Amino acid sequence: MKKVFAVVLALVLTFSLASVALAAGKVGVAMPTQSLQRWNQDGDYMKSKLEAAGFEVDLQYANNEVATQVSQLENMILNGAQVLVVASIDGSALDTVLATAKEAGIPVIAYDRLLTDTQNVDFYTTFDNYKVGQIQGQYVIDRFDLSNEAVKGPFTIEFTAGSPDDNNAGLFFAGAFDLLKPYLDSGKLVCVSGQLDFQTVATPAWKSETSQARMDNILSAYYPDALTGGQKLDIALCSNDSTALGVTNSLVAAGFTKDNIPVITGQDCDVANTKNMIAGLQAMSVFKDTRTLAEQTVAMVSDLLSGKEPEVNAEYDNKVKMVASFNCTPVFADVNNYEALLIESGYYKAEDLAN
C-alpha cells in the first residue's frame, strides 16, 4: 500500500507541482476532533485567518482516530498542500506520513500538540503548557495559603490529568504536580486515593464521561461520607475543562453544591465551564486565547511560503530532535476577571455565557 501511495504521489507531483507553486498557497490543517469545543474554535479561526491572508485551506477533523488523520494528511499531500499544520491525536503515530511530506518538500508545523518520535517536523506553535499546570498549582497554593507555615492542613486533593497520547497532558500535569509535591511530601496536602502518577490519573481522549466515572469511583471508595461529616475532599485538580466538567458532574450528582463543592481547576475556558465558574461550581480555568495561537501559526505559514525564517522563542525535545517553537502565554481566569478576558475581548458574547 505504501509503494502504491508513493507512486501516486510521484505522479501527482510530476504533473502538478509547477501549477501548485504558482498558486497563492495551499495549507492543509489537520485537527484531531470536533467533539471538544476548543478544536472547533481553533479550526474555524485558523481557516478564516489563513483565507484572509490569501491562502487556500483544506481543514479536516479526524474524529480522534489516528488512521483517519493519517489518511487525511495523505490526501492533503496528494492534493497539493504546500504547508501542513497538524494538531495530532497521537503525536508519536505520524512519522510515516510526515516522512512523505518531507520527501515532497512540504514543511510541517505541529499545532499546540508536539509531534514526537520523528525528524519530520519543522516548527511548533503552542502555549507554554508547563506554565498552564503551574498556574493551576499556584492557584491551589494561594487559595489554601499553603506557603504559610502557620497553616497546617491537611487538605485533601485528587488529580485528574489528560490523555496519555497527548504530549501536552504530561506537561500540564507536571507543571502543577511539581509545585504541589513539597506540600504532598510534608503532609500539608494528602491524596487519600494515593493516585499520584500520571498514567493512573490520565483520561484517555480527554473525555468528560471518563473523568466523571473515575471521580464516581473515587468518591464511593474514599469519600463516601464527605457530605455527612466524613472524609472531606478539598481540591480536585483537573488538567483541562473537559475533565473538570466530568469531575463537576460527578460531584453535583453526589449532592455537592456551590456551597460545599471542592476547589476545581480547569483549562480552556469552555462555555460550559465558564458558566460553572459563574455559578460557583468551578474555581478557575486557564485561558489560552486560541486566536493568538492561530494568528502566530498563520504568521509562521506566511514566513515559510515567502522564504523567511519564522519567529521562534523556545524549543522542545520531541525525543528525536529539538523542534523550534513559538510559545504563546496562558493566563489565569476566574469569576472575577472572565468578563474582561472573554467578553470584552470578543472571545465570547455575553449571551454565550448566559444560563
Domain that holds residue 167: 129-288+335-341+348-353
Instruction: Give the per-residue pLDDT at 244.
Output: 98
Positive or negative, the CA dihedral 44, 48, 51, 55 is negative
DSSP state of 78: H
Q: Percent of the chain beyond pLDDT 70?
A: 93
Q: Per-residue pLDDT for 18 more than 90?
A: no
Q: 148 and 115 share a domain?
A: no
Number of domains in the chain: 2
Instruction: Give the per-residue pLDDT at 24.
Output: 62
CA distance 34 to 38: 8
Write the CA distances from 128 to 156, 165, 242, 263, integer angstroms.
28, 18, 19, 23
Query: CA Rg, the chain, in Å?
Result: 22
Q: Per-residue pLDDT for 6 more than 60?
A: no
CA distance 144 to 199: 27
Instruction: Give the per-residue pLDDT at 9.
Output: 47
pLDDT band for position 347 (cuts 50, 70, 90): very high
CATH number (domain holding residue 191): 3.40.50.2300
DSSP 251-317: HHHTT--TTTPPEE--BS--HHHHHHHHHTS---EEE--HHHHHHHHHHHHHHHHTTPPPP--EEEE
Question: Mind listing the pLDDT tens digit for each residue in 242-296?
Answer: 999 999 999 999 999 999 999 999 999 999 999 999 999 999 999 999 899 999 9
Q: 151 and 273 share a domain?
A: yes
b/e for 33-56, b at 16 or more Cβ within 10 A? beebbbbebbbebbbebbeebebb
Instruction: Give the per-residue pLDDT at 16.
Output: 40
Q: 52 and 201 share a domain?
A: no
Q: 191 and 303 share a domain?
A: no
